[in-house]
Structure 1
Amino acid sequence: MEPKIKNRLTWRLRVMLAERNITTATELKRRLESYGYEITSSQLTRIIKERPERISTDLLDHLLAILRCEVTDLLRLDPIEKDQGGDDQPAPVVEKSEQPQKRRVRRVPDSEDESSDLTGPKITPFPISPSK
């Protein structure tokens, strides 16, 4: 069988930033703020690192103004070859973490106190003497 050719949008923000000598997310954030667009650092970093599932047209307008480019410079339609029997979604990219995960150790209490449970120790009210 002949493989199907499908197109996929490629997010090229990192390439455009490199071509414009914008080297950090902080610098891009500063430029966006000077144009009057507010965005958190974590949102901006996520948009730079990977292709966003959704992007507001307002942010896209500001990125195009800062980078002095067209939409086709940021989003490119690239062909992808897939086998006929394969699914439509591309295989997820699994990145190995550089540091091994630490094992979590469950700590056991030193003493088993019957007057306490998961909510804490039982509370005993103070005795109230009868008033005269």
Structure 2
Amino acid sequence: MKRRVEYSWRLREIMAARGLNNISDIMPLLIERGIDLSPSQLYRMLGQRPDRISLALLGAICDALECSVEDLCQFRIEAASSRKRVAAGDSGVVDLNSTIRPKRARIRPAE
């Protein structure tokens, strides 16, 4: 059984809890820490769950908001079954004699 790691990105919630409601509120805090993002990059980070993020940016966000990585990202492990399950009473075996009928071959002389 495979396991998948899922996470929820809570940057907007933590910003709201700290009284930061706009992009312009957090941008100066990140610039103080050496992170210069465009407003559109910061907007995407607030609105969407990032697939990749640099550790420098993650550290700057955690320092600016006085939180930890666990506060920003809540991780959960989900089990994903890779095998198909067979329904009860269905053995999954196909009887070829009843389902497939061979076609008669026709042999013609070469012209």
**Percent sequence identity over matched residues?**
30
**RMSD of equivalent CA atoms:** 2.3
1:39 equivalent among 30, 37, 40:
37
CA offset digits 1:8-29 (Å, max 9, x no partner): 1111101111111111011111
State the shift of 1:81 in Å. 8.3
1:70 equivalent among 68, 71, 88:
68
Specify the code of the residue in structure 2 equivalent to 1:21. Answer: G
Alpha-carbon distance in 1 for matches of 2:5, 2:55: 22
Structure with the larger RCO, 1 or 2 (CA within 8 Å, 6+ apart): 2
**Local SS of the residue matching 1:55:** coil
State the shift of 1:31 in Å. 1.2
State the shift of 1:78 in Å. 3.5
- What is aligned with 1:52? 50
Specify the code of the residue in structure 2 equivalent to 1:56. Answer: S
- What is aligned with 1:28? 26
Q: Point out where structure 1 has 5 or more consecutive residues left out of the alignment.
A: 86-132
State the shift of 1:36 in Å. 2.1
- What is aligned with 1:8? 6
CA offset digits 1:76-127 (Å, max 9, x no partner): 0146687988xxxxxxxxxxxxxxxxxxxxxxxxxxxxxxxxxxxxxxxxxx
1:19 equivalent among 17, 20, 30:
17
Moved over 3 A (4+): 4-7, 78-85
Bigger share in helix? 2
TM-score, normalization by structure 1: 0.54
Alpha-carbon distance in 2 for matches of 1:18, 1:80: 29
Alpha-carbon distance in 2 for matches of 1:36, 1:80: 36
The alignment covers a number of residue pairs equal to: 83
